[in-house]
Amino acid sequence: MLEQLETIPVLSIMLAMPLVGALFVGFLPTGKGGANSKLWAFVFSLLTFFVSLLLLAFNQEALFSAGNVANAGSHFQFLERHNWLPEFGISYHVGVDGIAMLLVVMTTFLQIFAVAISFTTIHERFKEYFITILVLETGMLGAFVALDLVLFYVFWEVMLVPMYFLIGIWGGQRRIYAALKFFLYTMAGSMLMLVAIMALFFHVHAQTGVWTFNLLDIKTALAATPITGRIGMLMFGAFALAFAIKVPMFPFHTWLPDAHVEAPTAGSVILAGVMLKLGTFGFVRYCIPLFPDAAAVFAPLILILSTIGIVYGALVAAMQTDVKKLVAYSSVSHLGFVMLGLFSFTPQALSGAVLQMINHGISTGALFLLVGMIYERRHTRQIADFGGLWEQMPVFGRIFLIVTLSSIALPLTNGFVGEFLILVGAFQSEVPFAQVLTVIATTGVIWSAVYMLWMFQRVMYGPVDKPENRRLRDLSFGEKAIMIPLVLVIFWMGIYPTAFTRKMNSSLQIVLGETRSQRPLSYGGAEAAAAAAAAQQQRLPAASGRAGVASR
Amino acid sequence: MWLIPAFPLLGYLIIAFLGQRLTGSPLPVVEAGGHDDHHGGDHAATDAHAHNAGPSDAPEFAADHAAAASGVASGHGANDPHGPTAHGDDHGSSHGGHDEAHLKPGGTKLVGGLATLMVFLSFLVSLLVFFSLLGAHGEGTARVFSPAFTWMNVPPFADPLGSEVMKGLNLNFQLAVDPLTSLMLLIITGIGTLIHLYSTGYMSHDKGYARYFSYLNLFVFFMLLLVMGSNFLVMFVGWEGVGLASYLLIGFWYTRQSATDAGKKAFIVNRVGDFAFLIALFLIFKFFGTFEFYGPGGVLTAEGIAGAKAAGYLQGGLALGLGAVTLVPLLMFIGATGKSAQIPLFVWLPDAMEGPTPVSALIHAATMVTAGVYMVCRAHSLFLLSPTVMTIVAVIGLTTAFMAATIALVQTDIKRVLAYSTVSQLGYMFLACGVGAFGIAMFHVTTHAFFKALLFLGSGSVIHAMSGEQDMRNMGGLGLKIKTTWRTMLIGTLAISGIVPFAGFWSKDEILLHAFAGPNENGLGSPLLWAGGFIVAGMTAFYMVRMMMKTFAGQPRFSPEVGSHVHESPPSMTFPLIVLAFLSAVGGFMNAAPLGIHAFEHFLGDTVGWRERVNYPLRVENTTVLILLAASALLAIAVCLWARSAYAKAPRGERLTEQQKQANPLWRWTYNKWGVDEIYNGIFVRGGKAFSNFLWRYMDVKVIDGMVNGVAGGIAHFANSIRGWQSGYVRNYALTMLVGVVLVVLGCLIGVGTFGGGR
């Protein structure tokens, strides 16, 4: 099935779909109350999702076939490559591995709900709004699938602009401040990354005499002559800073609460659900594979910052009076777990980290949706303004409870699997201080219960002592339709995460190979490829055996 | 085997989705306006909009309707201004009549019956499994595994170019039943069935009827997972899951702040224990490479332990100078102190009495709180490797038992007496574990499940009769009015006090005996431990008789109005009492060691280290055993009689007046629960809040954001200051150009001078 699919440009169709949708929205009449714009945006979000589902044909077994290794050693599938500016070695080169594939599907999945919730939360400038959000989707998807550094950078910046407008136009009271802060923060990181990309470009030319921005070619070149020493550290640092701001890691996180509080609901969903993952994804895709030595050097520092982020984010979250801000700080904490997993360099932690990226997208996305729903009813997000909603909105209450539990990582929900794998993996890590830091990070299970349950208690339980809270209607049919799929995914990932991990296990193995600082998986020389192929051949039976077990 | 947990889960799902529909929309007391169609809920999703749009003054109906229609909701009440909040401390307020909901009687019968039936079906299957294990007796090695599915799978990593290998993780979701599990199954589903049945009567007027039963079934489901899991992770699922169910049920009357506070406290305190448990799991994975209990290389097998030893399990200096061999059981025990309410994490259990009384009986007396004991027994082979930890377990257990008993002596709330009594009895169980008598610990778990469930249900029956009153100062003289409750509770009291030949005597006596002369090669028992346990046994008898006397004897101290409502509970509630009373009376003969009956321990066999125990018999003479036996038997009888006569003489059931109480520092101290709650509140809650606030308001807003805004402000300032240069005057630009040209030329000259000079 994969072979047939790879003959058609699935990824390009997927990338184009939201843009086509934006054209529809732009050129067709808005309709009464934005009805047409809503319809088209929704239809095209759905179509994008369906197209992205084709990626599920991603075949991890194929990675282990010798032919594929010879094929530029790519563990990427659905590859497309067209020259763009050949004289500069810039090409339109896209493809997905197991990690990107899952994140892409998560993005298109969340986009549906982001668009759907906008039906009721957006009250003006429908056309512009839906165009913006569709362009944003293309930007994010592009950043996930790009395999060319310039292409990646373009998508990376493209998604920045619509988000800036989303916050700045459809945001809350301090939207301009928040939008500007978001933009400047991110731009500062991006600039450094651009410098590093250029530096890499010249470095590779100096090494190989080839002008190229192509990720795979660069990896091949670096595999032969890794960047080490100070220059490697500087480049790693530049990339890492850009991604760390996006994640956001402590202490670069202060843009996030402001951006979340001011952003419209859909903006928060996309911001937390997808955009933050681009930061962590950047580490997996660029930072670690390109500069494994520097990554190993920086790992203790990153683990320390992640651990601080976990505890700090949770403690600060506990003190928040605004539900949305609370969720924003909880994201700092949760993303700390992801970073902890990524830089522990163990199979469990890495697997957990990628799972946790998806988990966080689903759970926090769902939380923001829920917060948006009560905001529409009460026009406040202050915890103190609520109380007793369990009585008023039973369906809302139950769904809110499930999502809350998922956020505090109760077993059988998605959060547990991710956190557990990260922590158990990090504990086995050889990075200095990893064990102590893991123990500190594990206190996160206490703090998350503290801030989430306290918030839940104040919002949902107690008597209805505010007259405004008496007139609340429960979730509408549409709102239930938005929440139920997310709830199902929460349980699905919690009970049978194998469905997800089996798609990414082999890609993770390759990433893990790249993290082993000396001479990672070689993409170039025939000897190395042959050796790698031989080694992988040996692993093949085991892998298929596992897959066989998993598929039962 | 999956059937056992599947039944309660099914019950939970059915009730959670359909319970509301079956019991009907509750019809609360509504003073303002009202809606005429609030039965059924077939068209409610749209109703919600209609209500919202209309001039509705009872939107809660909209909520309820939507709930019914969606099916997500379970039984749930609309807002009732006279709801439980109005009752203040009145715990059993659901029987006050104010928030009685007009539920469909057929529907409630169906829901309650369904929930009970599901647990009962589990019980039947558990019985089948039990008898099959009994038949295939292999000294506790008989074990049946269920089909499994892969839960988490991370393949091992082998560097293709190197030989470096990192171990993977393949975790199955699997259940297993061996004698230990099967015992727990019988307790959980057996007593669970009785308590479900009891609840159908006790909760019959509560508007949250269906919600209650859905939670209760959910609890049973998780509890079964806890004891059936074939590895630590599945156990942990149950472990956290029962915590969730407990949280939901403690906070069942959610409009009451104290109830939701108590629920939250229970969850968070348990999470502290879970944190330790998790670290223990990480260590286990590090050294064992698996979480499986048994099977090849399993953590609890000799082979697995040998493998771990090869990996350095016995080496010290991992953290705080301790090795994994100490840390693993120690951390697991901290986890157990959370779930089983031991020092230092016991504070949540007394507060947990905010939940409905049957919940206290099932979760906070008979089953969930014994999970810690179960866990220690299950992992006894790890504990036995560390005599240090064994000693800690014994000492903590005894200290907790003593402390809780002192507090129980002075409580006035009937449920609080029982709550502290539970903490105390759990301490006994850990004392047994700590001296290596794991089988005896499980035996006490079993007998305690009988008599404590009985006592709690009995107290529920009292509260039911007293229209929600829980303060014993307002009771008295009930013995003649509710005879079944009185008689059954009396049996429970005799059992817990250790009167021959009731169940408690046999288990408690064995614990004391082993505390005196522990069966282990390390000689864990000591006369000191015995003496402590002996004193606690006396106190137990005293506070139980005190409670009984205050409640049932003497003159009534309640108002005539309450008195007129006093009635015996319906058969659905008294039947479980009678069954449990029977078990409390004769249950001890399962393991009447002084009579030479060891059937119970023998059945558990290897799962509780029976063989080790046989190899290291008691280090005392038979005469000593007999003296100890006689001492504890006589003590119980003597204290009971003394307490009885003391309280029979006491005016209004009080031996001390209020002034005497307040003047007595010891009384104040014990009544205030040794001040532990205050200390924790001061340090952790207030300290934590202050610290977190500091982090947020100072670190985040001032320092970090201050720097960011400072940089931004600095740039803005700089930009502002150079803005003046763009004045629009040509002469200024010309000047600037001139300066620029001069600078460039100068720069070139200097550059040539510096760098060019060398050429």
Q: Check residue A34 and give left, alpha or beta (phi > 0: left; psi -120 to 50: alpha).
A: left
pLDDT for the residue numbered A274? 92
Highest mean pLDDT among B394-403, B477-486, B668-677, B742-751: B394-403
Mean pLDDT of B369-388: 90
For residue B34, pLDDT beyond 70: no
Backbone φ, ψ for residue B724 (5° rounding): -60, -25
Q: Do A347 and B168 touch (CB under 8 A)?
A: yes
Q: Would an 8 Å CB–CB cutoff place B52 in contact with chain A?
A: yes
As a whole number of angstroms, the distance between CA B105 and CA B201 comes to 12
Q: Which residue in A333, A391, A450 has the most chain B C-beta atoms within 10 A of its own C-beta, making it the best mutation to test that interface?
A: A391
- Place A419 in a pLDDT band, splitting at 50, 70 and 90: very high
Mean pLDDT of B477-487: 85
Helix (H) or strand (E) holding A231: helix A229-246
Q: A443 to chain B: which residues are within 8 Å by CB?
A: 275
Tens of pLDDT, residue by residue over B653-700, are: 677 777 777 777 777 777 777 878 888 887 888 888 888 888 877 877
For residue B277, pLDDT beyond 80: yes
For residue B44, pLDDT beyond 50: no
**For all residues of chain B together, what is the average pLDDT?**
79
pLDDT for the residue numbered A35? 82
For residue B394, pLDDT beyond 60: yes
Q: Would an 8 Å CB–CB cutoff place A471 in contact with chain B?
A: yes
Q: State the nearest Cα–Cα gap between B56 and chain A, in angstroms.
A: 8
For residues A360 and A408, is the Cβ–Cβ distance under 8 A?
no
Interface of B with A in 191-250 (CB under 8 A): 233, 236-237, 240-241, 244, 247
Mean pLDDT of B44-60: 35
- Place B70 in a pLDDT band, splitting at 50, 70 and 90: very low
Q: Would an 8 Å CB–CB cutoff place B158 in contact with chain A?
A: yes
A:B CB pairs within 8 Å: 242
pLDDT for the residue numbered B24? 56
For residue B67, pLDDT beyond 60: no
Tell me what percent of the residues of chain A surpass a pLDDT of 70: 90
As a whole number of angstroms, the distance between CA A516 and CA A277 comes to 23
Q: Is the torsion defined by CA of A400, A404, A405, A409 positive or negative?
A: positive
Q: State the nearest Cα–Cα gap between A265 and chain B, in angstroms.
A: 22
Tell me what percent of the residues of chain A surpass a pLDDT of 90: 35
**For all residues of chain A together, what is the average pLDDT?**
84
Tell me what percent of the residues of chain B surpass a pLDDT of 70: 82
Of A254, A424, A513, which has the smallest distance from its Cβ to B160's Cβ? A513
pLDDT for the residue numbered B672? 78
ipTM of the complex: 0.87
For residues B547 and B413, is the Cβ–Cβ distance under 8 A?
no
Q: A509 to chain B: which residues are within 8 Å by CB?
A: 155, 157
- Place B705 in a pLDDT band, splitting at 50, 70 and 90: confident
Residue whose C-alpha is closest to residue B294's, from B129, B142, B520: B142
Number of Cβ atoms within 10 Å of the Cβ of A13: 15
As a whole number of angstroms, the distance between CA A173 and CA B99 comes to 43
Q: In sequence order, what are the beta bridge partners of B150?
A: B172
Estimate to the nearest angstrom the gap between the alpha carbon of B454 and the chain centroid. 19
For residue A210, pLDDT beyond 60: yes
pLDDT for the residue numbered B54? 34
Of A254, A315, A542, which has the smallest distance from its Cβ to B692's Cβ? A315
Of A318, A399, A412, which has the smallest distance from its Cβ to B692's Cβ? A318
Give B72's contacts (C-beta < 8 A, 6+ positions apart): A394, A395, A398, A399, A480, B16, B17
Give A250's contacts (C-beta < 8 A, 6+ positions apart): A305, A306, A308, A309, A312, A313, A332, A336
pLDDT for the residue numbered B28? 37
Tens of pLDDT, residue by residue over B190-239, are: 999 999 999 988 888 788 888 888 899 999 999 999 999 899 999 999 99
Highest mean pLDDT among A201-215, A338-352, B70-84, B120-134: A338-352
Q: Is the preceding peptide bond at B344 cis, omega within 30 degrees of 0?
A: yes
- Place A342 in a pLDDT band, splitting at 50, 70 and 90: very high
pLDDT for the residue numbered B629? 85
For residue A270, pLDDT beyond 60: yes
Q: Which residue in A186, A256, A319 has the most chain B C-beta atoms within 10 A of its own C-beta, making it the best mutation to test that interface?
A: A319
For residue B25, pLDDT beyond 60: no
- Place A405 in a pLDDT band, splitting at 50, 70 and 90: very high
Mean pLDDT of A289-309: 90
Tens of pLDDT, residue by residue over A462-472, are: 888 888 777 77
- Place B245 in a pLDDT band, splitting at 50, 70 and 90: very high
Mean pLDDT of B244-254: 91
Structure tokens at B748: 């070139």
Q: Where are the alpha helices (DSSP H) in B498-526?
A: 503-516
- Place B521 in a pLDDT band, splitting at 50, 70 and 90: low
For residue B596, pLDDT beyond 80: no
**Minimum CA–CA partner of B167 in chain A:** A347
- Place B160 in a pLDDT band, splitting at 50, 70 and 90: low
Structure tokens at B686: 């207030």
For residues B255 and A462, is the Cβ–Cβ distance under 8 A?
yes
Structure tokens at B701: 């807003």
Q: Check residue B498 and give left, alpha or beta (phi > 0: left; psi -120 to 50: alpha).
A: left
Structure tokens at B193: 């069935």
Task: Supply the DSSP symbol for B94.
Answer: G
Q: Is the torsion defined by CA of A352, A355, A357, A359 positive or negative?
A: negative
Q: Check residue B40 and give left, alpha or beta (phi > 0: left; psi -120 to 50: alpha).
A: left
For residue A529, pLDDT beyond 60: no
Burial grade of A335 (CB within 10 A; 0-12, 13-18, 19 or more): buried
Question: By mean pLDDT, which of A527-536, B215-224, B304-313, B373-382 is the weakest?
Answer: A527-536
Angle at B596 between CA B594 and CA B597, to 5 degrees: 105
Q: State the nearest Cα–Cα gap between B109 and chain A, in angstroms.
A: 23
As a whole number of angstroms, the distance between CA A283 and CA A292 comes to 11
Residue whose C-alpha is closest to residue A249's, from A319, A334, A130, A155: A334
pLDDT for the residue numbered A354? 93
Q: Helices A35-53 and A98-121: crossing angle, nearest 10°?
A: 160
Q: Would an 8 Å CB–CB cutoff place A423 in contact with chain B?
A: yes
Give B564's contacts (C-beta < 8 A, 6+ positions apart): none
Q: Read off the pTM.
A: 0.86
Tens of pLDDT, residue by residue over A355-396, are: 999 999 999 999 999 999 888 888 888 888 888 888 888 889
Dihedral, CA atoms, A8, A10, A12, A18, nearest 10 degrees? 140
Q: Which is more confident, B98 or A142? A: A142
Backbone φ, ψ for residue A382 (5° rounding): -70, 130
pLDDT for the residue numbered B35? 36
Burial grade of A179 (CB within 10 A; 0-12, 13-18, 19 or more): buried
